[in-house]
Amino acid sequence: MVALLSQWKAHRKLLCLLFPLLTSGGLAQTLYVPLDNRPPNWTPCTWGVVRCPPAEFYKGRSGVGFLDLATWLINTPGERLVVSLDALAYGGLVQSRATPLSVPEALARLTLLRAWRGKFGGKVVAFGVIPRHPDAKYRERNLEVLRSLADWGLDYLEAPWDDALPGSPAVQEAATLPLPTRPGADESGQLMLLRALSPGLRVRVWYDDPAAARQNTRYEGIPLEESVRRLLESGGMQAVEQKPDLALLVYTGKDPRQAVLTLLRASREAPVAVADIASVNRGDKRLMDYLLELGRYPYLASYACWGTPANNLGSALAQGGLFLRDLEGRLDRLAEGYLQYLYGEVGRPWVRRYFAEPLLEGVSILTLGYLREQRLPKLMGDRLELLSVEFPWRRSFEVALRFRRVR
């Protein structure tokens, strides 16, 4: 009797621990551990498709603590886990460049992935970034960790490289790894979620300028068409010429009118995701004006212009695929895409003109007021209302924009 009572108490304690987790999705849920809390990495936590660690774990440029992540992860069941290795091992992307952790110490932290899979039986989809040159002090350490993980038997593991400008060894380093590699970094969480949640998407790729496909793009170090191929494979997609689920329009900025004509042709076959890579970290006003004036923007599958070419290609593909059959989710992603375009076009230049970094708290309120003065498009009759502006790292480069659609 005493033994039975002792077992019941132990079981009750376990049930009390697991009850909030089981009632919030249990084993059916997808867990997502972002690279850091910059908007491209953290925003999927707001999409309603994944469960993330508590936001307070991520402390801006200070990163995320291993013990916080480890405690949360080993107590949170899921059917699948999409995880940034840099967040788990080093605390984030910035920390991966400078944290003096040895290879055995980093691998010891990452054994948590094996423990989680052994405990809950879920799949593990992981990515680790080949860091930007010349910022990283421990490049060889990071590469050796990635090499060591190749035979761990994770369900999927890849190594995107970050900002390969001329002189960067990243492309050559990537070729030494026994892993899938590609350009990009901050879109990786979104693309891995597509792979985990909706693999097998059939995509037809269209270029506004076919000649540009054979040229190297800035920050990538390889031809554009090779970047696109690797990004498709990264997201578990299949490049096709017929019967696509999704069309990808790669806009390089040569001729926005021709791009719109290409978009109209592509839209006869499938919803169109637009990756605007004409510039870095901002969209092309000429293209956006055409999309709005012709009423095409609300009917896109997705739109991305916020980052480097790979950032935008990966985001457009991921969001277009994840919300292909979810009208409300698709419209929310298009609202986010437009607001990021608006911030890059008018918001960031305004902030940089008037305010020094690190940005003071009041700059968020002033920027909100300025952006509210700008005209916002309607999305299928819904009016966009900008609710807040935040600078999570107190700099103008990245911004978190909260909004709502009002019918």
Q: Which token pair is 45?
A: 């936590």
315 CB-near residues (< 8 Å, 6+ apart): 40, 187, 190, 275, 302, 304, 306, 307
pLDDT in tens, the chain (407 residues): 333 233 333 333 333 333 333 333 344 699 999 999 999 999 999 999 999 999 999 999 999 999 999 999 999 999 999 999 999 999 999 999 999 999 999 999 999 999 999 999 999 999 999 999 999 999 999 999 999 999 999 999 999 999 999 999 999 999 999 999 999 999 999 999 999 999 999 999 999 999 999 999 999 999 999 999 999 999 999 999 999 999 999 999 999 999 999 999 999 999 999 999 999 999 999 999 999 999 999 999 999 999 999 999 999 999 999 999 999 999 999 999 999 999 999 999 999 999 999 999 999 999 999 999 999 999 999 999 999 999 999 999 999 999 999 99
Question: Global pTM?
Answer: 0.92
One-character DSSP codes across 173-209: HHHTSSS-EEE-STTHHHHHHHHHHSTT-EEEEEESS
Indicate the burial class of 21 (C-beta count within 10 angstroms; 0-12, 13-18, 19 or more): middle
156, containing H or E segment: strand 156-161
Q: Which of 93, 82, 176 is nearest to 129 (CA)?
A: 93
Q: Which of 204, 208, 299 is nearest to 260 (CA)?
A: 208
Domains and CATH numbers, the chain: 24-197 (3.40.50), 199-325 (3.40.50), 354-406 (no CATH)
Distance set, CA 370 to CA 168, 338, 340, 359, 374 (Å): 38, 16, 14, 16, 7
Residue with tokens 């012709």: 294
One-character DSSP codes across 287-347: HHHHHHHTT-GGG-SEEE-SSSHHHHHHHHHHHHHHTTT-HHHHHHHHHHHHHHHHIIIII
At residue 10, the pLDDT reads 36
Indicate the burial class of 281 (C-beta count within 10 angstroms; 0-12, 13-18, 19 or more): middle
One-character DSSP codes across 231-247: HHHHTT-EE-SSS-SEE
Q: Which token pair is 363?
A: 């700059």
